[in-house]
Copies of this chain bind each other. A is one copy, B any other.
Amino acid sequence: MTSAPGPRQRRRGQVLEAAIYDAVLAELAAVGYRRLTMEGIAARARTAKSTLYRRWNSREDLVIAAVHQALPYATDVQDGGGVRADLVAALGLMAENMSGPMGRVIASVLGDFGHAPELQDAAREKIIAPRIRSLRAVFERAAARGEIRPGAVTPFVVQAGPSIVFNNCILQGLRLTSQDIENIVDQVLMPAVRPS
């Protein structure tokens, strides 16, 4: 569809690298990590295997790099109309992200976490940690404003929302509606932090 297949343009540096990363993610989403191959990646990126090996030592390295750079959107939510609204916004964005192609990518890769410590660390640092951090910030600002009990902001309370979202989107493949998000906030999170 991109005109005749004549003498193709040749990409370099950043542009090429970005195209390869895209191909890795697309391939992961399409065939899964089990069937991810360098040849498949090269074909989808319309490049050559040698180009891949020129930059990364192994499939694992390439996957780590691709996942690593694909996920730094920080999910930082600025305060809006109080805790409840902030939590709904934050979890909603999270659900949004996890339902898209990135959700499939994460699902494909996480099975191998136990056997690839680097992947596990990268994922933990890039995927989980920043989201948990930004969500904790939401709670803590609310606590500072006196909207919630300060003592209620524990690790498990902070984890609860993301865990539920994750399990629905990634593991069960469901798509959470905004009503669902509100239900999670109202039924689980708010009761845990509401001042008595």
Residues of A near any B CB (own CB < 8 A): 31-35, 104, 107-115, 120, 124, 128, 152, 154, 156-157, 159-160, 162-164, 166-168, 171-173, 180, 183-184, 187-188, 191-192, 194
Contact = CB atoms under 8 A, between A and B. Distances in A.
A110 B107 contact: yes
Given A152-B187, A156-B164, A163-B163, A33 B173 contact: no
B104 A108 contact: no
B173 A114 contact: yes
A160 B188 contact: yes
A110 B171 contact: yes
Interface of A is mostly: helix
Contacts of A35: 115
B163 A128 contact: no
A92 to B, nearest CB: 14
A141 to B, nearest CB: 19
A108 B180 CA distance: 29
Nearest to A60: B34
A112 B32 contact: yes
29 contacts: A31-B115, A32-B111, A32-B112, A32-B115, A33-B112, A34-B34, A34-B111, A35-B115, A108-B111, A108-B114, A108-B115, A109-B111, A111-B111, A113-B173, A114-B173, A124-B172, A154-B183, A154-B187, A156-B180, A159-B167, A160-B163, A163-B163, A166-B171, A167-B167, A188-B188, A188-B192, A191-B191, A191-B192, A192-B192
